[in-house]
Structure 1
Amino acid sequence: MGALKGNQSGLLTAVSATFQPQETSFQINKGHGRIEKRTVSISQDLTVIPDFPGLKTLIRVESERHVYRANIIEFSTETRYYVTSLTETAACLAQRIRGYWGVENKVHYVRDVTQGEDACRIRTVGLVQSWAIARNFALNLYRDHGFQNMAQAQRLAGFSCSILKDIFRAC
């Protein structure tokens, strides 16, 4: 499954101009000071789409978001399109798209922000992969030992080697 962006030579334009929903699913998510309604629609009518190998389903996600901040309500809408080789229902595809953000938030965001991966200046081919493995290993150790907050776990591990020894002894 892939998100359509403006770099697919006319595919985004063709999909957005001709999308006719065949099935729709709704989700309402609440939390973090916002309410978001997502409408996920799918279409398997590919007659007006340029040749795209393996394409079976077009997906449109329309989001309406209400964000509550300091007695101000901000309202925004967004429409995104996806393509996939899957032929699942709109509800199943909505879960897949939502699940992707779980991975993004639990792994990529933590590696980028908490562990500073984006700021890392290592560029040597073998070292980049080695550090990625080390970062993932650390996250897995933290989670395996019940930490919910990875920044807190990293701070505690950084305070003293005895905490790390305790973690490794428990393994």
Structure 2
Amino acid sequence: MNIAEHKKQNNIVEYIIHMYQTEDLIRVFDMDIENISQYVIKHIPEGDASKEELIGWYQAILDQMNKEGIEKSGHLSETQKIVEDLNTLKQQLLSSDEEFEKIYSKASPFIREFISMSEGKINDEIQICINGVYGILLARINGKKVPDEVQPALDQFGNVLSYLSYKYKQQNFLNDN
């Protein structure tokens, strides 16, 4: 089982962020599997069979990105479907789960603020939370400090996403049995 599949089974939000990273990585290497193989996969301490499997996985993602026309920007439709599923779950939990209602109410002002800051580009509340968490990850990878005034929002986004991920896994486990 590769990293993505493990994340998909255990923490759906980590999976989404992993897929966003994968898309960005593929774009950085100009949608060229040879570059990805040479500069990324070659340096992974795995056996040749695992590396071949990984090359196949990246190639499949790359092919899907080409097919969906997201070579420059955007996200895979399969990944975005999961974001939609999380939004549906959010709506269900808001009317049935007191704990989630508390978590969400703390995050809600920040969500509205970030949606407003997006100037109409993003209206999806869960997408805003994911973008916030992904943005902090990218900033840290690039050695940038996250402004102190943004941290409370990101903490609340993380709380919402963690709870949704937990409930998503719980629902999928119940649906699989």
TM-score, structure 2 normalization? 0.25
Task: Looking at secondary structure, tell me which structure has more strand per residue.
Answer: 1
Which structure: larger Rg? 1
Higher RCO by CA contacts (8 Å cutoff, separation 6 or greater): 2
Query: Hey, which of these two has a bigger chunk of helix by percent?
Result: 2
